[in-house]
Amino acid sequence: MNRTNICKNIVQSIKDYITDQVKLEPHRVEKHFVRRRKLSLLQVIIYLFFSSKTSMFQNLSQIREELGTLSFPDVSKQALSKARQFINPSLFKELYYLSVDLFYSQIPSRKLW
């Protein structure tokens, strides 16, 4: 399997992971993201993946333009900042390990130096 296909598989597995509410449940701070709000946990995660070093306003605008099918809500920068505080860092650690495990399980062989 070539590296492009491996990367596609990694991106697909991350997408499957973050869209599964059961898998996301342990990574939210207790008593947060339980009620129906403008920003869901998935939308905050997508913002964090999509954001760059530009300002929050520009990042939000780019998400709305480029990911129109996501229907990212019109929220303030403060609301987004507050919402991202309630995601446990363990989510990103889990996604890292998921991608590393997939990469090394699918690569045919590693060259030893």
- pTM (whole model) above 0.75: no
Model confidence pLDDT, tens digit, residues 74-107 = 777 887 888 888 888 888 999 999 999 998 888 8
Calculate what percentage of the chain has a pLDDT beyond 90: 12
First to last CA, the chain: 21
Q: What percent of the chain has pLDDT over 70?
A: 83
Query: In this model, does residue 25 exceed pLDDT 70?
Result: yes
Average of per-residue pLDDT across 55-65: 79
- Can you tell me the distance from the alpha carbon of 37 to that of 18, in angstroms, rounded to the nearest whole number? 18
